[in-house]
Chain A
Amino acid sequence: MRYHIENKVYHVEILPPKQDSENLERDLDVFAEKYTRVMDSGYCACITDNAMGHLSFQGTEMIEELGLPVLPEQVMIHLNTFHTREDLDNILSYCVEKGIKYLLVVSGDGSERLPRLKPSDIGVQGTESITSVELLQYITREYPGKFVLGVAFNPYEPEDHEFAKLKRKLWAGASFIITQPIIEKNAVVDKLIAEYPDVPVIVEAWMSKKLHLLSDAVGYTIPENTEYDPIATLKLLHQAYPKNGFYLSLLGFKTQYDLIRDLWV
């Protein structure tokens, strides 16, 4: 992950088509186009896993079915706890086979339609449910040395609780951290960076103009008409966090993509 920061490799989020897509061919084309563009730019394509609980196709099956190239330094797969053991192993085995090494391991939002890993599925005892910690432990145990594992850090959660959780995640095998989206210098993120100087921290920048969509993440209501300039914010974050990596969520490929090229100097 240090390589990404040193070489100014943006992490660009790409959402796979939803299961209920009304025009799957078009959505597959759009996905392939975005993925290819990220590869060509030398950035890292970060493919979400049923983000926000919306049933979507898996990153690995998108790559397989669309015959997309995998450049090991340029692909990151999100992986949450809403899988059967069989599906989980299929995803992990495919990643090993294709040389996908970066995984962002998260608990996930889930949905009624998604199966959740049970403790017995992955040999865990003494807990009622599986979180990213147990999933990390499973991956490091069953696939030793195969993956570089990242975890999420939420600066909007109660601080003590979030830092305690992070400690468990790092103990369980995580070696890099991606924050929840921030839109300005954030004191909790500053503390995170100070406390873990040896762990690469990737700052998530919110690239949608619809700032109010962040309301759930930050825990308070952001009015719908709030003016927000994502590019200006990204510039500001680069100044605030010159030694960190950047994860761009909901980046506009038509209007913003060409504008980010020269921002990271």
Chain B
Amino acid sequence: MKIVVCIKQVPASNDAKIDPETKRIIREGQKAIMNPFDTYALEEGVRMKEKYGGEVIALTMGPPKAEAVLREAISAGADRGILLSDRVFGGSDTWATSYALARAIEKIGDVDLVICGKQAIDGDTAQVGPGIASHLDWMQATYVMAVDSIEDNNITVKRMHEDGYDVCELRLPAVLTVVKDINTPRVPTLKGRLAAQKSEIPVLKPEDIGADPDKLGLNGSPTRVVKTQPPEPRQTDTLRIEGSPRECAQALVRELKFRGLV
């Protein structure tokens, strides 16, 4: 199987700051991590490769420093990484982003399966996975919590919803977005990390993937961010309870009741 896992570099959630002018997240100088949901997508892709054979390609779009998440993906089991990076991609909304990723997937060729995290923790839209499927005109299943089987060019998955799950069968090629119930991502090994540091990461521009520049960036984005605000910081305080075990337990219950937590 040839599996593409789409990953995104996002600011570590506690560090998010918004540019008041552009309403966009300030990424410069921020600690960046792999979008947590994408780690589950990557793990699932690597597990499929281990079970069925083939190749896992990590794909991302972003500034040059986004290369770091591709190396992280390689250290966690991806065979190679591809970075889409060019000024023309800058400012893309989810539609333009998914268009660019879809063109890259076509360029890679013979891809059987695309796996994405259910959403990125910076935008929280959950639109890019479905957008890729739409641009490629492939079948898709979102919120996948388990992959049951892959047989005869069909993949059977469990799709999570509020009341349980649906069992869905999709014809390959297809796009999945996954939730974190699907697996426990492995921790990269030192061997993997060292190998990843030596990997060549090709950087592709719009012309390399046959993308129409008019469909990229701000020009290619039908949506506009009108207003963005950082969330209110969570209030944390520590209450130390002292006394005998019985006194502590009583005080704890009192406190929890007072706060309406029990």
Contact = CB atoms under 8 A, between A and B. Distances in A.
Contact of A24 (B184, B186, B187, B193): B193
Interface string B150-192: 0000000000000000000000000000000000111111110
A19 interface: yes
Contact of A84 (B184, B188, B193, B197): B184
A115 B190 CA distance: 17
Nearest to A22: B68
Contacts of A65: 190-191, 194
Nearest to A82: B187
Interface string A134-164: 0000000000000000000000001000000
A58 B9 CA distance: 25
B240 interface: yes
Contacts of A113: 39, 185, 187
A61 interface: yes
A19 to B, nearest CB: 6
Interface in A111-129: 112-115
Interface in A40-71: 55, 57-58, 61-62, 65
B245 interface: yes
A87 B189 CA distance: 10
A114 B240 contact: no
A19 B190 CA distance: 8
A61 B191 contact: yes
Nearest 6 Cβ contacts at the A-B interface:
A115-B184, A61-B190, A57-B190, A65-B190, A61-B189, A65-B191
Given A62-B190, A65-B190, 11 more contacts: A19-B193, A57-B189, A57-B193, A58-B189, A65-B194, A84-B184, A84-B186, A113-B187, A114-B187, A115-B186, A158-B245
Interface of B: 36, 39, 184-191, 193-194, 197, 240, 245
13 contacts: A19-B188, A19-B193, A24-B193, A55-B187, A58-B189, A61-B190, A62-B190, A65-B190, A84-B186, A113-B185, A114-B187, A115-B187, A220-B240
